[in-house]
A and B are shown apart, each in its own frame.
Chain A
Amino acid sequence: MVEDLKKYFRTPRGIVKAVDGITFSMDLGETLALVGESGSGKTTTAHVIMGFYTPTEGLVTYKGIDIGIPVEKRPLWLKREIQIVFQDPATSLNPKNTVKDILDAALRVHASGTKLERLNKMLELMNYLGLPEEHLFKRPTELGGGEKQLVALARALAVDPDFIILDEPTSALDVSAQSKVLKTLSRIQRDRRVSYLLITHDLGVVRNISNRVIVMYLGKICEESETDELFSKPLHPYTQMLLSSVPAMTKEDEKVLPVRIESRGEIPSAINPPPGCRFHTRCPFAMEICRREEPPACNAGASSHVVRCWLYSSRTRV
């Protein structure tokens, strides 16, 4: 679906290479998790897929059609099929509109029935997500952070999309609401075969609902694998650092975490990314070659487990 995608931003201080050549594809009905450093280009990738930015280079295809076009130029059916839930619910809902206005606007665009039918659909949705009916006439500012995100989710679900990009959908939710939403997301996926591109920092969530994981670092993919495989056998030093940084809540959790590789070093700038492997500045295992040459994609372990790191370059390259 995404091939050698690059997105650069021109800024007064230089060109920001937010996404610098990534390739991946997704199947219908699967959940692909995108994890990685903050600022590594995950949201940018999502926005390019949505058509908020056009790619600087590379191809984005959906069901075989090139969709590297701005969202305004996309046909209506395409907009209906791809939806997004944003990172920050406080700004993704219009502060002046009530929940009813917000949901109604979404329903109206795709011409779904009479006022009464729309209202029913709204109430059904709100019920589905555990939002009390009395919130219908509240403005986002009167809702708690969690409730706001649920409304944003309801808005995306309102148009029956096939593919939803979830940009940190649960980072603002409390544990109970998070469980409910994750359950709901799984239920929707079971019922309608929707695909999710899940962007999140919560590895607990990744572990529990995704089939496959892509780990990004500074605009590039460094590891890609089935979820279980990744958690049991993380290969890339960055992935290991990621996993060992997860704060353990109980003694059980502590046991599963890999040996602690303390996260350290400054995150390099996206304007002047380090040459060679981008992670070498923080990598505890950095070798001479890492500073000079970009690591090749290697196949280690299971066939779908791809890692870009010189440590594994003796294994089969792909």
Chain B
Amino acid sequence: MNLLEVRDLYVKYRSYWYTYHVLDGITLRVSPREKVGLIGESGAGKTTLLKSILQILPPQGRIVRGEVLWKGVDLLKADKGYVMNVRRKGIGMIFQDPLSALNPVFKIKDQLLEVLRYSYDGYSKSELLSLAEELIRSVLLPDPARVLESYPFQLSGGMRQRVVIAMALASAGDLLLADEPTTNLDVTIQDQILRLIDRLVIERGLSMILVSHALGVVAKMTHRVYTMYAGNIVEEAPTPKLFNEPLHPYTKLLIENVPRISSRRLGEGIKGNPPDYRYPPPGCRFHPRCPYAVDICKKVKPFCVKVSRDRRVACHMYSEGLEKVDGDVNAN
């Protein structure tokens, strides 16, 4: 059985006058002990998706319809207590902005203890404190004692990032949602942290959804990758295949634009901007920026087709003669 399955999820943000149709029918699944990557431009709705899973969207956000199945239970219909319990003990999330997850006026110690108190009820304060120190050490921070006594601004960006990782690990029982976990870290620490996360995932039997703009990290860390564009999943493939031979035009462009260490050549960026979510383009949401767009792309939304045993893509170029598939049809 899948650990987490998201089916046909629609999420919008409402302001007083406008409605932003952000997530547009997301379907994805995560098996136990599986590491899944999620890539896509800024504004594609990746954070929105992760927040919807935990139901911690800002007040303007609304889940329109869809299902979020956690071990078979639909979290959107489950009662508050259950969801709270999943948040505290089942799913841990590493937030994207390390500072907004940390309150500037409290010491790291107090904030970490706050989180630990929920995940380890019945522990005494001193036990929690040593747990906290343990956690800080486990994310390779030197001087756990100094870090615990510091306020967020006294730590370097990378140190704060690792504090946030430590906090997320405290509440991840089954699944870790990592939203840009290593952006502020240098590569050697990144490498160590990634190996650490890898080890924890194996030791504790965790699964993970990894969101990152550093495609190299995704390539190295995950089994399977979803490409997301403007609230749609446009491609799904096992990691090596996706990076070495991407199918969807968007994935191709994305990969071409990564600055490489193997060559001295900068990409041009993808022309145009992500769509205005108030009036998303009809048909394929990518068509205004797609170099291969033809007439049908402007009118009909491409559905997900299975192009080979383990690859799916939502693009008219590949859809001829193939049948529509849904997320739950092809569990491996």
Q: Is the CB of A201 within 8 A of B97?
A: no
With both chains docked as a complex, state the minimum distance between the C-beta of B179 and any C-beta of chain A, in angstroms.
Answer: 9
Q: Is B257's CB under 8 angstroms from A175's CB?
A: yes
CA–CA, A241 to B191, complex, Å? 10
Task: Collect the chain B residues with CB atoms within 8 Å of residue A130's CB.
Answer: 269, 273
CA distance A270 to B159 in the complex (A): 13
**Size range of the interface on B?**
35 or more
Q: In the complex, are the beta carbons of B97 and A88 less than 8 A apart?
A: yes
Q: Please state if A252 and B266 are interface contacts (CB–CB under 8 Å).
A: no
A207 lies within 8 A of B259 (CB): yes
Contacts of A12 in B (CB 8 A): 149
Q: CB distance B216 to A248 under 8 Å?
A: yes
Q: B189 interface residue, CB < 8 Å from A?
A: yes
Q: Which residues in chain B, 113-146, are within 8 Å of chain A measured between CB atoms?
A: 140-143, 145-146
- Interface flags for A233-271 (1: CB within 8 Å of B; 0: not) read 000001001110111111111011100000110111111
State whether A231 touches B269 (Cβ < 8 A). Answer: no
CA distance A256 to B260 in the complex (A): 10
Establish whether residues B42 and A173, one from each chain, have CB atoms under 8 Å apart when the complex forms: yes
CB atoms of B266 and A253 under 8 A apart: no
Looking across the interface, which residue of chain B has its beta carbon closest to that of A40? B186
Cross-chain contact A90 with B99 (CB below 8 angstroms): yes
Nearest chain B CB to A17 CB, angstrom units: 13
- Asked if A13 is at the interface of the complex by the 8 Å CB criterion, the answer is yes
A39, A249, A266 interface centre (most CB from chain B within 10 Å)? A249
Q: How close is B49's CB to chain A, nearest CB, in angstroms?
A: 13
- Greatest chain B CB density within 10 A among A201, A242, A243 is at A201
Provide the bound-state CA to CA distance between A245 and B215, in Å: 14
* B267 contacts partner chain A, Cβ-Cβ < 8 Å: yes
Q: Identify which of residues 17-54 in chain A touch chain B, using a CB-to-CB cut-off of 8 Å.
A: 35-40, 43
B262: interface (CB < 8 Å)? yes
Query: For B276, what are the chain A residues with a Cβ–Cβ distance below 8 Å?
Result: 132, 134
Tell whether B270 is near chain A: CB-to-CB under 8 Å.
Answer: yes
Contact in complex: A176, B253 (CB < 8 Å): yes
B186 engages A38 (CB within 8 Å) = yes
Partner of A204, one of B149, B190, B258: B258
**Once the chains bind, are A39 and B158 in contact (CB under 8 Å)?**
yes
Q: Looking at the complex, which one of A132, A175, A207, A255 makes contact with B254 (CB distance below 8 Å)?
A: A175
Known: A13-B146, A171-B183, A176-B253. A253 touches B99 (CB 8 A): no
Given contacts A146-B43, A247-B190, 19 further A-B pairs with CB under 8 A are: A35-B186, A38-B159, A38-B189, A39-B156, A39-B159, A43-B157, A90-B97, A168-B183, A174-B40, A175-B41, A183-B269, A205-B259, A207-B264, A247-B216, A249-B215, A256-B261, A263-B189, A263-B191, A266-B140
Can you list 27 A-B contacts with CB-CB less than 8 angstroms, sorted by A residue number? A13-B145, A36-B186, A37-B188, A38-B185, A39-B159, A87-B157, A90-B99, A145-B97, A146-B42, A174-B213, A177-B42, A203-B187, A204-B216, A208-B265, A231-B261, A247-B187, A247-B191, A247-B216, A248-B216, A249-B215, A251-B244, A263-B188, A263-B189, A263-B192, A267-B142, A267-B189, A271-B143
